[in-house]
């Protein structure tokens, strides 16, 4: 645990996942839709007046940004509540659609996919929607930079032409080493945990033939 609480270890793990996306990227073009994967919302409960975001909320902001920049006239938001939707809850996709509207995305431009509960399920559900609308499967895929490798591989496996549009970066090239970096850090442990989840996910999906 002490090892993964190191700033140096957590940064190395982040770099391994995000290195392909650290250079400035051109805006995606020719995309039928902007696909914003779930994970950026906190869920919507009856006691909440407004929709809220969590640490990965950059996904939702970036999806709205790409829409306003004209990358595509359609935004697909996808995701259920992991474990199923309980009484009084809404699927995360609906929650995120509310946020997209607040950020300036026209209601008629938003397509909600409320069933997928994990990365493996996102692609086939979205493929079915795009087939029903006769849209080409060229998409701007928005998710956290650390999650992009696995998500891109899953969508390509399902026949999509993917233009990665990463958000929520963790690796910071401008980080200046400080004397306190030698000390264990709760934040570094958290980041290492997130990154290890992705590495295990890549391995597991490969073994299962999902990527």
Encode the chain in three state secondary structure: CCHHHCHHHHHHHHHHHHHHHCCCCCCCCCCCEEEEECCCECCCCCCCCCCCECHHHHHHHHHHHHHHCCCCCCEEEECCCCCCCCCCCCCHHHHHHHHHHHCCCCHHHEEEECCCCCHHHHHHHHHHHHHHCCCCCEEEEECEHHHHHHHHHHHHHCCCEEEECCECCCCCCCCCCCHHHHCCCHHHHHHHHHHHHHHHHHHHHHHHCCC
- pLDDT score, position 201: 96
- Residues 34 and 50: their CA atoms lie apart, in Å, by 24
> Is it the case that residue 103 has pLDDT exceeding 70?
yes
Written as six digits, the tokens of 58 are 């950059």
User: How do residues 159-202 score in pLDDT, each as one tens digit?
Assistant: 999 999 999 888 665 555 666 666 667 777 788 889 999 999 99
> What residue ranges do the domains of the chain occupy?
1-22+178-211, 23-168
Per the CB < 8 A criterion, the answer to whether 17 and 145 are in contact is yes
As assigned by CATH, the class of the 23-168 domain is alpha beta
- Residues 95 and 27: their CA atoms lie apart, in Å, by 26
- Find tokens 């935004």 and name the residue: 75
- Residues 132 and 4: their CA atoms lie apart, in Å, by 46
> Using 50, 70 and 90 to split pLDDT, how confident is the model at 9?
confident
User: How do residues 119-150 score in pLDDT, each as one tens digit?
Assistant: 999 999 999 999 999 999 999 999 999 999 99
pTM of the model: 0.87
Cα 117 versus chain centre, distance? 13
User: How do residues 38-93 score in pLDDT, each as one tens digit?
Assistant: 875 655 556 666 667 777 788 999 999 999 999 999 999 998 865 555 655 778 89
């Amino acid at each position: 645990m002490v090892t993964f609480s190191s700033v140096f270890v957590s940064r190395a793990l982040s770099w391994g996942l995000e290195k392909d996306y650290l250079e400035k990227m051109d805006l995606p073009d020719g995309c039928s839709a902007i696909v914003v994967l779930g994970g950026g919302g906190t869920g919507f409960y009856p006691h909440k007046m407004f929709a809220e975001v969590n640490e990965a909320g950059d996904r939702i902001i970036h999806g709205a940004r790409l829409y306003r920049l004209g990358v595509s006239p359609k935004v697909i938001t996808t995701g259920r509540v992991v474990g199923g939707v309980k009484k009084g809850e809404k699927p995360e996709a609906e929650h995120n659609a509310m946020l997209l509207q607040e950020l300036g995305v026209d209601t008629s431009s938003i397509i909600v996919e409320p069933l997928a509960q994990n990365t493996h399920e996102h692609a086939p559900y979205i493929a079915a929607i795009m087939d029903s609308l006769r849209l080409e499967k060229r998409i701007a895929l928005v998710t956290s930079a650390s999650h992009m490798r696995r998500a891109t591989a899953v969508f390509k496996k399902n026949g999509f032409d993917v233009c990665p549009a990463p958000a929520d970066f963790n690796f910071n090239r401008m980080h200046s080493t400080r004397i306190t970096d030698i000390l264990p850090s709760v934040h570094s442990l958290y980041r290492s945990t997130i990154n290890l989840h992705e590495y295990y996910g890549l391995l597991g999906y490969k073994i299962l033939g999902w990527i």
